[in-house]
Amino acid sequence: MRSRPKRGAEPDDAVDPEQVEGAVDDGLLIARSAASVEVANTIIVRALREQRPFVRAEAAGDVRDAIGHLIREQRDLAARMIEARSRALKSRGRSRHQFDYRAGDSSALASREAIYSTIADRLDALIGDDEYVDAIITAARDRAWNDIGAAILKKAGAGMVPDSEYEAERDERLRTFLREDLAALAADASSPGRRRR
């Protein structure tokens, strides 16, 4: 894999494919995690502030938006590396700070550009992959539920000393809470005669 320097720059430096692939793998894991966190936050805001239910199709759109944002970010970073490399190849003397690149930095900048471009290309292919998107939706939904559930349990359990059966019956209590209590709250919140105070 080779980088694409700006027109007028010297020929491409060779890029180590193994180094690029390792960094791309790491970058894709980070991107997946970032998309999951972003979508989980959106789910939480919709549930708590807007009192809206989780809708998988809506979450799929959120995932694709998050991935699209990450693709644009990676392409911008790649373009910056091309610009930095072009300037570095023309610069002489010693660098004055860590971002003052010189010709000796050309290979590293070419590798970075290849990494960012490859991550963007792979994400671009994954944005249409329903299984990939669905896996992020599931991770985001689970993360959101864990955050909301932990907050509810902390609030509900404040000052309470659980009995010896507490842990054994916890799952059933949560199911009952979701099935009955939250359903009653939702019905009450959406009833036409409800007065706001």
Q: Is 182 among the domain residues?
A: no
Say what the pTM is.
0.67
DSSP string, 105-154: GHHHHHHHHHHHHHHHHHHHHHTT-HHHHHHHHHHHHHHHHHHHHHHHHH
pLDDT digits (tens, 9 = 90+) for 139-176: 999 999 998 888 777 777 665 666 667 777 888 887 88
pLDDT digits (tens, 9 = 90+) for 123-142: 999 999 999 999 999 999 99
Q: Is 103 among the domain residues?
A: yes
Question: ∠ CA(171), CA(53), CA(186), 5° rounding?
Answer: 75
DSSP 96: S
Q: Is 181 among the domain residues?
A: no
- Provide the residue range defining the domain that includes 50: 17-164
Q: Is 4 among the domain residues?
A: no
